[in-house]
A = this chain, B = another copy of it.
Amino acid sequence: MGKLTARAIVERALEIGDAEGLDAVTIRRLAADLDVTPMALYWHFKNKDRLLVGMADHLVAGFAPAPADDRSWERRLRDLVEGLIRVLRGHPCARQVLEQVDQSEVPGFLAVWDQALGLCRAAGFSVEESCMISKYLLQSAVAIADAPMHFDAGRTPAEIDEIVRRKRLGLESLSADAYPNLVAMAGPMAGSMDPALYDSFGVDLVLSGIEALAARR
């Protein structure tokens, strides 16, 4: 029997969240899954918010930012974003978790943030600009990682098709007068898009904005 440890609790919580959504992660449900009393969890986490912070930290814990080297800041910033996306991809509930916690209380997230800040400064941005850009960058990475076509975890291709199909039908059945473009582009909007292309285009979009601003100064 594995011991009840903070790590075991967080991992079980992420399993539940990934499989059934973050709403299913409940102190009582989690305790039941761990064969323990709900109050047992309160010894390891002072309240549910701290548990969520623990979950968030576990999400990015596997992500060690590369040490400084002689690559360009553009290259390093891109690697940072792509690395973060790759790590978050492993957990369907990543975005929900990171939305619920104060990210400045998550050590692993602060590490990525710090790295982004340094790269922005290296790119020649002011302190204020670097703050904005780094926040924006991390937020975009989380959003890209949560792309609609990446709920693959535990679902069969047939199930994914069904979800996409229903989404598309919902869009197609809108008023073509009120939303002409949405109706016309229902297919791609619903998420039937090549994932690899989605990712690289998303990262391009975010980084090209930063690079354009850097070039302008």
Write the residues of chain A forming the contact surface with B, with a CB cutoff of 8 angstroms. 99, 104, 107, 110-111, 113-115, 117-118, 121, 127-133, 136, 139-140, 143, 167, 170-171, 174, 178-182, 185, 188-189, 193, 197-198, 201-202, 204-213, 216
B residues near A107, Cβ cutoff 8 Å? 178
B residues near A130, Cβ cutoff 8 Å? 185
Which single member of B99, B185, B204, B211 contacts A131 (CB below 8 Å)? Answer: B185
B residues near A143, Cβ cutoff 8 Å? 136, 139
Looking at chain A's contact residues, the main secondary structure is: helix
Q: Mind listing 18 A-B residue pairs with CB under 8 Å?
A: A104-B167, A110-B179, A111-B179, A113-B182, A114-B180, A114-B182, A117-B181, A118-B181, A128-B201, A131-B189, A132-B198, A132-B202, A136-B140, A136-B202, A204-B213, A205-B213, A208-B208, A209-B209
B99 and A181 within 8 A (CB): no
B residues near A114, Cβ cutoff 8 Å? 178-182
Which single member of B127, B167, B211 contacts A212 (CB below 8 Å)? Answer: B211
Q: How far is the CB of A147 from chain B (nearest CB, A)?
A: 9
Q: Assuming the A-B contacts A114-B180, A185-B130, A193-B128, are A212 and B201 also in contact, with contact meaning beta carbons closer than 8 angstroms in the complex?
A: no
B136 and A182 within 8 A (CB): no
B171 and A201 within 8 A (CB): no
A205 and B210 within 8 A (CB): yes
In this complex, what residue of B is CB-closest to A206?
B209
B residues near A179, Cβ cutoff 8 Å? 110-111, 113-114
Which single member of B170, B182, B211 contacts A117 (CB below 8 Å)? Answer: B182
B residues near A104, Cβ cutoff 8 Å? 167, 170-171
- In the complex, A216 Cα to B204 Cα: how many Å? 11
B residues near A211, Cβ cutoff 8 Å? 212
